[in-house]
Amino acid sequence: MSERKRDRVIDMTYGPIMRKVLLFALPLVIGNILQQLYTTVDTLVIGKYCGTASLAAVGTSAQPVEAVLCIFLGIGTGVSILISQYYGAGDREKTAGVCRTAAAFVWIVGVGVGILGFFLAPAILRLMEVPEEAMPLSEAYVRIVLAGSLGNIGYNMNAGILRGMGNSTASLYFLMISCASNIVLDLALVAGAGMDAPGAALATAVSMYLSWIASVIYIRRQHRDLDLPVFSLKLSGEHLRAIVRIGLPIGLNHSLYSMGHVALQTLVNSQGAVFMAGQAVSGRITGMANIAVSGMSSAATTFSGQNCGAGNYDRLRQGYRRIPIAAGAITLASGLLFLAFRMPLLRIFTRDETVLMYADRYVSVLMFSQWMFSVFNTIICIVNGAGLVRYTTAVNLLMLWAVRIPSAHMIRAFFDGTWIMLCFPISFGFGMLCMIGYYLFSPKWREIISRPNGRSA
């Protein structure tokens, strides 16, 4: 590998731990800002040029799209974990084999999801109790975005491959392309052509295809040893089994988690279109304040995977506590900053005072509690990076289905449905305590961090 290529990857198996984690996370954080930017542009353009029903349609439609795609994006996380382990172990042949199998997987499932999504969109939205005034726009939005599944899954799979190798910078370039094209298309299709929510959906789908194409070109030029095909339907049984063994539990977890979000969104929808709009607007602010979580979590996965693959357990022992503490502190600081400026930011999206009241309430509750989610999620990613996915899957599902959703129902039944966002801090605290308990009491985890150096995962 040339020195130029080496400069693009961060080897987590040596050097100052937090410096490398933060350097790895920084491009991902910037990328998350860009992602939030173009979802924010969707909301801004819809809010300015369309009505409350359109704003509610865009906000509620994100949940079923996420539920459909998350199982495959979770499998992409499994690919990233395998890549990090094989790359850390110096096994370039297996690294390339997993990449080729992942590329074939993208084509098979991407086309299938787009077709199924077209036919299932109305039934999913009816199940979510989407109000009639928002149904036509929601249906069109979901169908168009799912038509872009191939680009979405393809981009995320390739970004996962690069992250597993320690290259977090390239994804930022791809997102720049996606963000710029999305903004231009939003203005052209919604503001210019008057296409309403379907125009925003088309802008999102096209921008994801452009990012995917850019990622394929980049990998084929800069990482020729991976031999990533442009089009392939050939799956290696050995590598597919490895991907499924680690990635499927994560994917099913993400999918069931997203279905839980759909169930929670149903409770939001039952409060009416104005409350839905407030929740959609608040999501733009809470998402921006939460940008460090996924960046630090991806860094935690790569750190754990590379060091387990290399048999470098001294570094794992040094980093498995530092990284979650740092992630929680960063998330709390950013949350408090956004909380201080929440009202001027919320007024950018809407002037409806009732919508603003609900949005303010939602933002305030989440800003004080997301640090717990950050600690919880980075611990999960460190454990997943070591290949231990069963307990983390169970905790994720319990946090949602046994804590968050039941508590939301109880809040609506016995208190006030417009305060159902209180279910988030309740579930965040539960999940964080469960994962800290895993660190302290799990025999399997204690065995891993007690291993001498040199024994690979």
Q: How high is the pLDDT of residue 24? A: 92
Domain ranges of the chain: 17-449
Q: Indicate the pLDDT class of residue 237, thresholds 50, 70 and 90.
A: confident
Cβ atoms of residues 328 and 371 within 8 Å: yes
pLDDT at 3 over 60: no
CB 65 within 8 A of CB 114: no
- The answer to whether residues 403 and 426 touch, using CB atoms and an 8 Å cutoff, is yes
The answer to whether the beta carbons of residues 142 and 64 sit under 8 Å apart is: yes
Higher pLDDT, 348 or 310: 310
Sign of the dihedral through C-alpha 345, 346, 349, 350:
negative
Chain segment 4-58, per-residue pLDDT in tens: 344 468 889 989 999 999 999 998 888 877 777 766 777 778 777 777 777 777 7
- pLDDT above 70: residue 455: no
Question: Quick one: pLDDT at residue 8?
Answer: 66
Integer Cα distance of 285 and 345 in angstroms? 8
Q: What is the pLDDT of residues 365-376, one digit of tens each?
A: 999 899 999 999
For residues 327 and 378, is the Cβ–Cβ distance under 8 A?
yes
* Tens digit of each residue's pLDDT (9 = 90 or more) over 346-369: 888 788 888 888 889 989 999 989
Q: Is the dihedral of CA 76, 175, 329, 281 positive or negative?
A: negative
Encoding tokens for residue 236? 């290696």
Sign of the C-alpha dihedral, residues 27, 32, 35, 40?
negative
- One-letter amino acid at 51 equals G
- Is the pLDDT at 264 greater than 90, yes or no? no
Q: What is the dihedral of CA 254, 248, 299, 7, to 10 degrees?
A: -130
Three-state helix/strand/coil letters over 74-118: HHHHHHHHHHHHHHHHCCHHHHHHHHHHHHHHHHHHHHHHHHHHH
The answer on pLDDT for 239 being more than 80 is yes
d(CA 404, CA 421): 9
Phi, psi of 414 (to 5 degrees): -110, -5
Alpha helices, H only, 128-236: 135-147, 149-164, 169-186, 196-222
With 0-12 / 13-18 / 19 or more C-beta atoms within 10 angstroms meaning exposed / middle / buried, residue 441 is: exposed
Instruction: Between 67 and 167, name the one with better pLDDT.
Output: 167
d(CA 7, CA 145): 36
Q: Which residue has the higher pLDDT, 25 or 65?
A: 25
- Of the ranges 80-84, 414-418, 431-435, which is most confident? 431-435
Q: So what's the pLDDT on residue 45?
A: 81
**Got the DSSP string for 299-361?**
HHHHHHHHHHHTT-HHHHHHHHHHHHHHHHHHHHHHHHHHHHTHHHHHHHH---HHHHHHHHH
Residue 270 CA to residue 2 CA, distance in Å, equals 57
Q: Is the pLDDT of residue 260 over 50?
A: yes
Q: Is the distance from CB of 90 to CB of 134 less than 8 angstroms? A: no
pLDDT of residue 328: 94
Q: Is the pLDDT of residue 456 over 70?
A: no
State the pLDDT at residue 5: 43
Tokens (6 digits) for 161? 């491959």
Which residue did the predictor score with more confidence, 155 or 457?
155
CB atoms under 10 Å from CB of 411, counted, come to: 19
pLDDT tens-digit series, residues 324-337: 999 999 999 988 98
Task: Measure the CA–CA gap between 263 and 199, rounded to whole angstroms.
Answer: 27
CA 331 to CA 253: how far, in whole Å?
A: 24
Share of the chain above pLDDT 70, in %: 94
pLDDT over threshold 80, residue 93: yes
- At 67, the pLDDT band (50, 70, 90 cuts) reads low
Q: Is the pLDDT of residue 311 over 50?
A: yes
Rounded Cα gap, residues 193 and 450, in angstroms: 62
pLDDT over 80 (residue 91)? yes
Task: Name the DSSP letter for residue 9.
Answer: S
Higher pLDDT, 174 or 436: 436
Regarding pTM above 0.75, the answer is yes
pLDDT of 113 strictly over 70: yes
Residue 321, number of CB atoms within 10 A of its CB:
13
